[in-house]
Amino acid sequence: MWTGLSPGYRQWSPFIVKDEKALSDLIGYLERNRPYIPCYSVWKQLGLPNSSNRGEKANDLVVSARQKHNGMSWSKPGSVALAAVTALVRNGEYKRWFQTGTLSFAFSASG
């Protein structure tokens, strides 16, 4: 029997789990990222949107429009920096950021 699982997880037969290291790695990943994994059933109960379309559209506006066209090639640090500056401009926060180094973090009323 697999015994590397945290308390509360069911025990697995070695006949079901062929690669115990892969299972251990997956469980570790899920435990480390637990705070960032959404519970969509709770979102539904709260009436919150259950879609990635807003995030995808933001990516289109902030990253794709500039970086994925015209045959450009970007380093990871350059891409992240350009995305950050573009987001500051799109959200009207660039003056505050460059003058004070702070952001407002206000949510839109339109949801």
Whether residues 57 and 21 fall in one domain: no
Q: Is residue 90 part of a domain?
A: yes
Q: Is residue 5 part of a domain?
A: yes
- The CA dihedral of 30, 34, 37, 42, to the nearest 10 degrees, is 130
Whether residues 32 and 57 fall in one domain: no
Count the domains in the chain.
2
Q: Is residue 42 part of a domain?
A: no
Sign of CA dihedral 31, 37, 43, 44: negative
**Full domain range(s) for residue 84:** 53-100
Q: How far is CA 78 from CA 45, 63, 74, in A?
A: 40, 11, 6
Percent of the chain scored above 90 by pLDDT?
A: 7
In sequence order, the 6+-apart residues with CB closer than 8 A to the CB of 39 are none
> How many whole angstroms separate alpha carbon 17 and alpha carbon 37?
24
Under 8 Å between Cβ of 93 and 103: yes
Whether residues 58 and 94 fall in one domain: yes
Sign of CA dihedral 103, 43, 51, 34: positive
For residue range 22-59, what is the model confidence (pLDDT) as tens digits?
A: 888 988 999 999 988 888 888 889 888 777 787 788 77
75-103 average pLDDT score: 86
Q: Is residue 48 part of a domain?
A: no
Whether residues 33 and 58 fall in one domain: no
Q: How far is CA 17 from CA 4, 13, 28, 87, in A?
A: 12, 7, 16, 44
Whether residues 64 and 90 fall in one domain: yes
Least confident span in 13-22, 63-72, 87-96, 100-109 = 63-72
pLDDT the model gives residue 111: 47
60-82 average pLDDT score: 75
Whether residues 2 and 29 fall in one domain: yes
Q: Is residue 19 part of a domain?
A: yes
pLDDT band at residue 68 using 50, 70 and 90 as cut-offs: low
Whether residues 26 and 57 fall in one domain: no
Whether residues 64 and 94 fall in one domain: yes
